[in-house]
Homo-oligomer: A and B are copies of this chain.
Amino acid sequence: MAKDLEKSLKIADQRCIEQGLRLTPQRRQVMGLLLEQEGPRSAYDLLDELQSRHQPGAKPPTIYRALDFLVSAGLAHRLASTNRYLACGHLACDHGHERTLFLVCDQCGAVREATMDTPLKQALNRSLSQEGFTAGTQPMEMHGRCRACR
């Protein structure tokens, strides 16, 4: 477990270097908190955690800055529909996670980070171009019940 954590943090270091970004100690701590968690967490949950574990004096802007950085660096995701954050589930793979789809279980809160297959991407792109709409980078989210909770 702790091994996986360290390994993931190393990958995060690497990803930042590649992009010319700085994974400062503070940002790394927050990334560590995200990696430890099972599911998505709210910013204030993470703030509490950060305060009790690393930085007693941390204030809201501290956690939001770190999270914004991690999201923009592609190391974490923000679930817009529930105001929650989670580590990217595809840290290791290279395949730039464009067009991922989050499946959010409304019962247990679990989030599955699904990648869209080719036919789905194509059908979606066709619909979008028909509307003249250019998709941004924010992933899509779908709510429902996961396999375990059905």
> Which A residues fall within an 8 A CB radius of B?
80-82, 101, 103, 105-106, 112, 114, 116-117, 119-120, 122-124, 126-128, 131-136, 138, 140-147, 150
Contacts and interface: CB of A to CB of B under 8 A. Distances in A.
A140 B138 contact: no
Contact of A127 (B120, B132, B134): B120
B140 A144 contact: no
* Candidate in A82, A120, A128, A145 with the most chain B CB atoms within 10 angstroms: A120
A127 B101 contact: yes
User: What is the count of identical protomers in the complex?
Assistant: 2
A interface, over-half SS: mixed
Contact of A131 (B128, B133, B134, B147): B147
Contacts of A135: 142-144
15 contacts: A103-B133, A105-B133, A106-B136, A112-B133, A117-B123, A131-B147, A133-B147, A135-B142, A135-B143, A136-B142, A136-B143, A136-B145, A138-B142, A138-B143, A140-B142
